[in-house]
Amino acid sequence: MREALERYRREVTSGKRGAVVEQSRITRLLRHPLADRVVASIRGKDIADYTAERAAAGAASSSVHKELALLSHLYTMSRTAWGMESLVNPVPLAKTTRPKLPRGRERRLLEGEEARLLDAARTYGGEIGRVIPWAIETAMRRGEIAAMRWEHLDRKARVLLIPETKTGTPRRVPLSSRALQALEGLPRRLDGKVWGMRPDSISQAFERVCGAAGIEGLTFHDLRHEATSRLFEKGLNPMQVAAITGHKTLQMLKRYTHLRAEDLVERLG
């Protein structure tokens, strides 16, 4: 297993955008006694014991799931690319012992909160007052917003190219009139970026704006939930919404979508 993990880190992890985080997971696994086992000798019970051990140590359910996904893909690579066709993947055999993932956040903007948020943002100053409506209109992630460049904006077509995304797949985001309005009058930076804010500074400014507006329990990432839900409420189908938001699976898209029954009444007739 140790040799397999090191090969996986070298040949697979190194090519991922999230390589640094995954390398830390591999380092953790390399320190575990499983690393000294022959890969073919590891059974479902061993994976179940590892899962229980991590849970007892206080590891977050999401962390355990990602570690198991890494191990499962390692076995897939071993079978399909490394000449070990007869190898049995033990990870699915321990599926019932996996810790339950916490429910996705369901926080959406309440009545009047958007107006209060924007008023507080204007008082706060800086770019956050433009970044907030941009996030609500585009469903873009914080890092994607911070990395925006003018050269990727096609005003005539009303489309923004996002060349690097969390999923590794570039996408083109259609822009509403309100989204374009958020860019009006922005000065052109020498570095070519649209915004002068880093991902962490966006979150910090948003937190302060929420405090000034008296809004509790809202994070900047919740605006992505809000935007995704609004796209459905406008009548777009799941494939159209996924093309805008960049979600890879309908299951993930569902976790980011929270439709209000009150907003669906008129569509029922």
Q: Tell me whether residue 65 is one of the annotated catalytic residues.
A: no
What is the spatial distance between Cα 123 and Cα 10, in angstroms, rounded to a whole number? 49
Relative orientation angle of helices 113-124 and 199-213, to the nearest 10 degrees = 110
Amino acid at 70: L
**Cα angle at 143 between 214 and 213, to 5 degrees?**
10
Q: Which of 10, 17, 95, 166 is catalytic?
A: 166
Which among 102, 46, 103, 99 is positioned nearest to 71, based on CA atoms? Answer: 46
Q: Tell me whether residue 225 is one of the annotated catalytic residues.
A: no
Q: Tell me whether residue 8 is one of the annotated catalytic residues.
A: no
What is the spatial distance between Cα 163 and Cα 169, in angstroms, rounded to a whole number? 8
What is the spatial distance between Cα 147 and Cα 135, in angstroms, rounded to a whole number? 13
H or E stretch including 83?
none
Q: Tell me whether residue 256 is one of the annotated catalytic residues.
A: yes
Which among 136, 138, 107 is positioned nearest to 245, based on CA atoms? Answer: 138
Q: Which of 141, 142, 225, 230 is catalytic?
A: 141
Other CB atoms within 10 Å distance of the CB of residue 189: 12
Amino acid at 185: G
Q: Which of 9, 224, 225, 230 is catalytic?
A: 224
Q: Decide: 64 and 97 in contact? Cβ < 8 Å.
A: no
Alpha helices per DSSP H over the chain? 2-11, 19-30, 44-56, 61-80, 113-124, 128-138, 142-146, 177-183, 199-213, 222-233, 238-245, 250-255, 261-268
Q: Tell me whether residue 247 is one of the annotated catalytic residues.
A: yes
Q: Which of 8, 50, 75, 256 is catalytic?
A: 256
Which residues, 6+ apart, have CB-to-CB distance to 157 below 8 Å? none
Q: Tell me whether residue 193 is one of the annotated catalytic residues.
A: no
Q: Which of 2, 32, 65, 221 is catalytic?
A: 221
What amino acid positions are annotated as catalytic residues?
A: 141, 166, 221, 224, 247, 256
